[in-house]
């Protein structure tokens, strides 16, 4: 039986979450900053956090480095930006051509797109480097996608899956490792799965398996409901790899995380998965504290996963996010001129309202999941 570990304290989880956010914000905004510098774009400020400035320093290039009051986010402010839409101050139109060329709003469209995309891109690169570092140091773990045992009366047994079967694909998605099988099944919603397996010297069989929905308890006592086939994996192999191979594995694994996030988001949008399954800031902080309590390695690995999440979310085509900027740039490229100022302001205000609404819903779900409402009902009752 797995030993149940005590939940980390609130202060420990909060500290771990702020540390992780601090690192990832610097990484993400650093992507925008470095890309802006590469294209000789003038920058006013690089800030960690929002609200009132607590500490600050202005470097020789005129960039104000700020540590602000609320340590949940950050931003790079390019010179001349009036708002999050990067609309230019009309008074700057009177500047000499040489000075205007250094302002973000006057940069060629393709340069603005690269500067905006650099934030999410560096989040993905950061995750790849972390994973590659693990693989070079600890080796790359992999398990052949071969069924070593089938649990009696399980979903796999009912479907006719046998020990020794090699799983080739699930729902048309090719499988090269048993870890891929776990990822696809665990991120599913319990719907029937189409499996192609190799049996008896290479003969292929098509099987339909209806996963069983089960509840398991993790090391911290959290109850998790998920699909299960009822099969066991074989012996895991840890392969020692060099830096180039490790980077390749990092790219593949980061790509798999992106696919899983996209699959989960699609399931929510299509109504196949409950919105309650998505975590907000409170649940994210709780999980961060749990991973940190398990050790530095677990914490850094979770940071890599969260970095991919941050990059993916920022690429969603929602105004105020990087993906929203890129969407407007795509429209600008087609129209050969930017959208009107009023439309852009409306779009960004709508995007901000949508994000805030989602955050309220997710925070409400978080409060419910950690038992706050149950405790309040007990006190008030």
The residues that are catalytic are 29
Query: In terms of Cα–Cα distance, which of 275, 330, 341, 355 is closest to 88?
Result: 341
Q: Is 97 helix (H, G, I), strand (E, B) or coil?
A: helix
Contact assessment for residue 137 and residue 315, using Cβ atoms and an 8 Å cutoff: no
Task: Give yes or no for a contact between 155 and 193, defined as CB atoms under 8 angstroms apart.
Answer: no
CA dist 321 and 159 (Å) reads: 45
User: What does the angle CA 290 – CA 294 – CA 184 come to, to the nearest 5 degrees?
Assistant: 70
Question: For residues 10 and 16, is the Cβ–Cβ distance under 8 A?
Answer: no
Residue 59 has, within 13 A of its CA and on its CB side, a CA count of 9
CA distance 367 to 361: 10
User: What is the distance between the alpha carbons of residues 91 and 4, in angstroms, rounded to a whole number?
Assistant: 63
d(CA 307, CA 302): 8
| Ranges of H-type helices in the chain | 10-38, 97-100, 109-138, 155-159, 178-186, 243-269, 281-293, 296-314, 322-335, 341-369, 372-380
3-class secondary structure, 79: coil
Coil vs helix vs strand at 91: helix
Tokens for 46, please give them.
């690089």
**CB-based contacts of 133: which residues, under 8 Å, 6+ apart?**
246
Neighbours of 263 (CB within 10 A): 18
CB atoms within 10 A of CB 155: 24
Could you tell me the CA-to-CA distances from 339 to 90, 100, 328, 335 in Å, in that order?
A: 16, 20, 8, 8
């Amino acid at each position: 039986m797995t030993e149940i570990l005590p939940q980390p304290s609130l202060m420990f989880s909060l500290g771990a979450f702020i540390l992780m956010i601090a690192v990832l914000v610097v990484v993400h905004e650093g992507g925008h900053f470095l890309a802006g510098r590469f294209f000789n774009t003038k920058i006013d400020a690089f800030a960690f956090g929002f609200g009132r400035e607590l500490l600050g320093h202005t470097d020789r290039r005129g960039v104000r480095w700020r540590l602000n009051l609320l340590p949940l986010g950050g931003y790079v402010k390019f010179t001349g930006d009036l708002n999050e839409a990067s609309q230019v101050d009309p008074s700057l139109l009177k500047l000499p051509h040489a000075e205007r060329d250094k302002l973000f709003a006057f940069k060629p469209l393709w340069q603005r797109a690269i500067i905006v995309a650099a934030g999410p891109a560096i989040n993905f690169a950061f995750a790849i480097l972390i994973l590659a570092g693990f693989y070079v140091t600890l080796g790359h773990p992999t398990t052949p996608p071969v069924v070593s045992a089938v649990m009696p009366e399980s979903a796999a047994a009912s479907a006719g899956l046998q020990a020794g079967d090699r799983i080739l694909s699930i729902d048309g998605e090719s499988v090269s490792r048993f870890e891929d099988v776990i990822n696809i099944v665990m991120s599913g919603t319990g719907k029937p799965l189409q499996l192609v397996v190799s049996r008896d010297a290479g003969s292929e069989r098509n099987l339909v398996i209806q996963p069983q929905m089960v509840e398991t308890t993790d090391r911290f006592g959290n109850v998790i409901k998920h699909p299960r086939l009822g099969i066991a994996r074989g012996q895991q192999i840890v392969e020692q790899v060099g830096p180039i191979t490790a980077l390749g594995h990092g790219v593949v694994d980061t790509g798999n995380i992106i696919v899983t996030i996209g699959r989960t988001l699609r399931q929510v949008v299509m109504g196949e998965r409950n919105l309650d399954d998505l975590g907000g800031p409170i649940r994210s902080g709780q999980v961060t504290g749990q991973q940190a309590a398990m050790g530095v390695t677990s914490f850094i690995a979770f940071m890599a996963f969260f970095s991919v999440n941050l990059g993916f979310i920022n690429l969603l085509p929602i105004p105020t996010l990087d993906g929203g900027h890129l969407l407007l740039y795509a429209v600008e490229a087609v129209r050969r001129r930017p959208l009107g100022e009023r439309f852009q302001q409306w779009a960004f205000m709508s995007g901000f309202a949508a994000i805030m609404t989602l955050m309220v819903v997710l925070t409400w779900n978080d409060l419910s999941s950690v038992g706050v409402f149950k405790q309040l009902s007990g006190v008030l009752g």
